[in-house]
Amino acid sequence: MSRVLIFGGFAPSLILFRAPLLRALVEAGHEVIAAAPDEDHRVAPAMKEMGVQWYPINFERNRVQPVRDLLFVRRIRRMLRELKPDRLLCYTIKPNIYGGWAAAAEGVPSAAMVTGLGTVFMNPGLKRTAAIRMFKKACRWHDRVFFQNPDDCQDLLEAGVIDEPEKVVMTAGSGVDLDQFPVKPLPSEVSFLMLARLLTSKGVREFLEAAAMVKSRHPEAVIRLGGMEDPGSGGVPMAEIRSAEQAGAIEYLGHLEDVHDAMAASSVYVLPSWHEGTPRSVLEAMASGRAIITTDVRGCRETVEDGVNGLLVPWKNPERLAEAMCKLAEDEDLRASMGAASRQQAETRFDAREVARVMMNALSL
pLDDT digits (tens, 9 = 90+) for 214-250: 999 999 999 999 998 887 778 999 999 999 999 999 9
52 has a pLDDT exceeding 80: yes
Flag whether pLDDT at 63 surpasses 60.
no
Comparing 61-65, 75-79, 159-163, which segment has the lowest mean pLDDT? 61-65
Topology (CATH) of 191-349: Rossmann fold (3.40.50)
Compute the mean pLDDT over every residue in the chain, rounded to the nearest whole number.
Answer: 92
State the average pLDDT over residues 51-58. 93
Of 259 and 10, the one with more pLDDT: 259
Mean pLDDT confidence for 111-130? 78
The confidence score (pLDDT) of residue 121 equals: 66
pLDDT band of 60, cuts 50, 70, 90: low
Q: Does residue 64 register a pLDDT over 60?
A: no
Q: What is the pLDDT of residue 66?
A: 56
pLDDT single digits (tens) 160-202: 999 899 999 999 988 999 999 999 999 989 999 999 999 999 9
Name the pTM for this structure. Answer: 0.88
Of the options 3.40.50.2000, 2.40.30.10, 3.40.50.1820, 1.10.1370.30, the CATH number for the domain spanning 3-175+351-362 = 3.40.50.2000
Model confidence band, residue 19 (pLDDT cutoffs 50, 70, 90) = very high
pLDDT digits (tens, 9 = 90+) for 248-289: 999 999 999 899 999 999 999 999 999 898 999 999 999 999
Q: What is the structure's pLDDT at 277?
A: 86
Percentage of residues in the chain having pLDDT higher than 90: 79
Q: Quick one: pLDDT at residue 1?
A: 87
Question: What are the residue ranges of CATH 3.40.50.2000 in the chain?
Answer: 3-175+351-362, 191-349
What is the 3-class SS of the chain, one letter each residue?
CCEEEEECCCCCHHHHCCHHHHHHHHHCCCEEEEEECCCCCCHHHHHHHHCCEEEECCCCCCCCCHHHHHHHHHHHHHHHHHHCCCEEEEECHHHHHHHHHHHHHHCCCEEEEECCCHHHHHCCCHHHHHHHHHHHHHHCCCCEEEECCHHHHHHHHHCCCCCCHHHEEECCCCCECCCCCCCCCCCCCCEEEEECCEEHHHCHHHHHHHHHHHHHHCCCCEEEEECCECCCCCECCHHHHHHHHHCCCCEEEECCCCCHHHHHCCCEEEECCCCCCCCHHHHHHHHCCCEEEEECCCCCHHHCCECCCEEEECCCCHHHHHHHHHHHHCCHHHHHHHHHHHHHHHHHHCEHHHHHHHHHHHCCC
